[in-house]
Amino acid sequence: MTVLRCAILCLLTILAVAPAFPQKTREITKQERELGKLRNEIAAFEKRLRESEKREQSTLEHLDDLEQQSALIRQLIRKLREEEKSITKDIDDAKESIDGLEKQLRALRTHYAGYVRSVYKNGRVYDVELLFSSNSINQLLIRIEYLKRFSGQRVNDLKRILQKKTELEEENDQLLQTLKNERALLVEKTKEEQSLKTKVTQRQRVLNRIRKDKRTYRQELSRKTAAVKRIEQLIADLIEKERLKREELRKKREAAAARERERLAASKATPGPIIEIEPTGVFAQKRGLLRWPVASGMITSKFGNQTHPVLKTVTQNSGVDISVKVGTDVMAVAEGEVSLISFIPGYGNVVILNHYSGYRTVYAHLSDIHVVEAQKIREGDPIGKSGDSLAGSILHFEVWQEREKMNPESWLARKR
């Protein structure tokens, strides 16, 4: 009876601690849609590049297409790496679950084999002893029913765990195949990115040969002027959007306050304070103390009117240009949220951050973007990497208070 009772106790213990195997919670469908969208956008730019080469499209516009496609490929590769990490974790979890099942299976087989040997050696003696040791008729009936079901239950337990083990092994095989496919795609897209960098380098060589061509400078000057106006319009649109949002919040608060007054009047209670829910920032307090958007670099083009070195024409710089190496980390100068991500000819990839209370900053000529619109940002958070332009490897940085352009140098902390 000792062997039988031990087997019963072990079975109950194993079943009690058997883990629950959760279903995969990753939003695979959503990720596949995002990856599919990126692939389609990359393919669309590839088509535009082939068409522009046939039409002998201007070098500047061709470089715009290359820059946008390159940024999309970097974004795709980043998402693929995240997917690879997620798949690797799923594989590890599956292996751990399989190991646990195998241990349970070995334990059940061992105890079941011991039970079978005991029955074979002693016949049904132990079962009879168990029945006759009952203290009551009720206990006797319960033990009879239990012994009748015990052997069948053991077989069912084995079948259940074997089935689960098979399912997990199949899942593991599928995950391994998925990881293999993702790695292959990652390698492919990395090669494609390198190919694009080569194209950009080739185009840069062409630009270096035609830099004395004033037509190119005039075209770029025209693009810069249009970019300044585009930024002004985007800022104005964001201000109006924010005004409408504040108005909507104000109406909701007034409606809520009216309902609260009615409730308090009915209950004759004392009204509490009105809670302000609009976000506010401390940007205004950072004048002269604002952190730089890059860890190193120097200002090569100041705020305000600038004389073009070749055309000798006077142009307006809405911010400052900071000379940095291509691929330098670009960081948020203060807390806030991402208002807008766009591509503007002459400015390249652009990110606009809202620091509340009417303050915004603009970051242009980014080779890569690490944030998404509406994302909350802390001071010092990376928002992307610096890129290249006709003026060299620079980061263009602007500070706005409502619709007024501010001189960033009066805001940035002095370098020691």
Predicted local distance difference test score (pLDDT) of residue 8: 45
Predicted local distance difference test score (pLDDT) of residue 3: 44
CA-to-CA distance for 57 and 48, rounded, in angstroms? 10
Helix, strand or coil, per DSSP, at residue 163: helix
Instruction: Give the per-residue SS3 of 180-199.
Output: HHHHHHHHHHHHHHHHHHHH
CA-to-CA distance for 49 and 77, rounded, in angstroms? 21
Q: What is the pTM of this model?
A: 0.69
Predicted local distance difference test score (pLDDT) of residue 65: 83
CA-to-CA distance for 322 and 298, rounded, in angstroms? 5
Characterize the bridge pairing of strands 336-344 and 376-377: antiparallel
Q: Which domains are seen in the chain, by residue range?
A: 2-19+27-209 (no CATH), 227-261+290-410 (2.70.70.10)
Instruction: Give the per-residue SS3 of 202-214.
Output: HHHHHHHHCCCCH
CA-to-CA distance for 239 and 251, rounded, in angstroms? 18
* Spatial CB neighbours of 24, under 8 Å, sequence gap ≥ 6: 90
Q: Which positions of the chain have pLDDT values less than 50? A: 1-26, 56-57, 125
Predicted local distance difference test score (pLDDT) of residue 362: 98
Predicted local distance difference test score (pLDDT) of residue 184: 78
Q: How far is CA 198 from the centre of its chain?
A: 28
Helix (H) or strand (E) holding 398: strand 394-401
CA-to-CA distance for 108 and 104, rounded, in angstroms? 6
Please tell me what DSSP assigns to residue 149.
H
